[in-house]
Structures are given as structure tokens and as C-alpha cells.
Amino acid sequence: QVVLVESGGGLVQYGGSLRLSCVASGRSVNEIKYMAWYRQAPGKERELVASITDSGYTDYKDSVKGRFTISRDSAKNTAYLQMSSLKPDDTGVYYCKGQTSRVISVEGAIGRRDYWGQGTQVTVSS
């Protein structure tokens, strides 16, 4: 099992910055191979913003490239999302997702499971 707790959200003006944190805990925390940040704006579906693998590969939604940076501190079991040059369109609830991977059979089949945090509100005023 994994528990994810986000923090760092808040109200910020256009052009400002915030850093979100996601702390993972639980007996399966060492099996987390992939972490990501999603966001959900009012009336819209949840969307992937940024992701990072345990090998350090990162990927971003086009609209945040150059403004957001995802990182991970494995020693602290924490993922971060540094957000700069924030725009009103970045407003939403930001969720952290962690995905565990483990071998589940002698043939080498991989089992994956997703865990979600409770979310943290980010509001960017114009």
C-alpha cells in the first residue's frame, strides 16, 4: 500500500511561482517506479501535467513545457512540481499519482497499481 500527501498549493498572482510536494509512504513505497502530477480545473476532466520515471525520464504537457519542472528525491520519497510563470489557465486541483511495479509471476509478468493523493488547490489570479 502507498499513501500520497500533496502540499504547497495556494493563491498566486499571474506570473508567480509555486512548488508542490508529494510525499509517499507505506509498505510499497520502494516499488514506486513512476510518479506524475495531474490537474483538474472546474468543469473539466483531470489531465496529465508532468511525469517522471525512476530512471529520471520526464515528460510534460505541451502548455507547461519550459514553465514547470518535475523532480523526485528518492531518499525522501518525495516528488516535486516547480511551477513558474503561472497563468490563470493553470488553476485547478493538482493531484499526485504514484505507480508501483513489481514482478508477480515466475514468467516475469509485471503488476502495476496506481495510487492517488487527495489533491491541493492552485489558484492563479489575473
44-99 residue pLDDT tens: 999 999 999 999 999 999 999 999 999 999 999 999 999 999 999 999 999 999 99
Cα separations in angstroms, 85 against 10, 56, 82, 89, 100:
15, 24, 10, 11, 32
Given the C-alpha cell 511551477, which residue does it identify?
83
Q: What mean pLDDT is reported for the chain?
A: 96
Q: Sign (positive/negative) of CA torsion 71, 73, 78, 84?
A: negative
In the three-class reduction of DSSP (H, G, I as helix; E, B as strand; rest coil), residue 63 is classed as helix
Radius of gyration (C-alpha) of the chain in whole angstroms: 15
Contact 44, 91 (CB under 8 A): no
Other Cβ atoms less than 10 A from the Cβ of 105: the count is: 8
Q: Give the residue ranges of DSSP H helices in 2-116.
A: none
Which pLDDT value is given to residue 11? 98
In the three-class reduction of DSSP (H, G, I as helix; E, B as strand; rest coil), residue 30 is classed as helix
Which pLDDT value is given to residue 8? 98
Which pLDDT value is given to residue 14? 98
Which pLDDT value is given to residue 114? 96
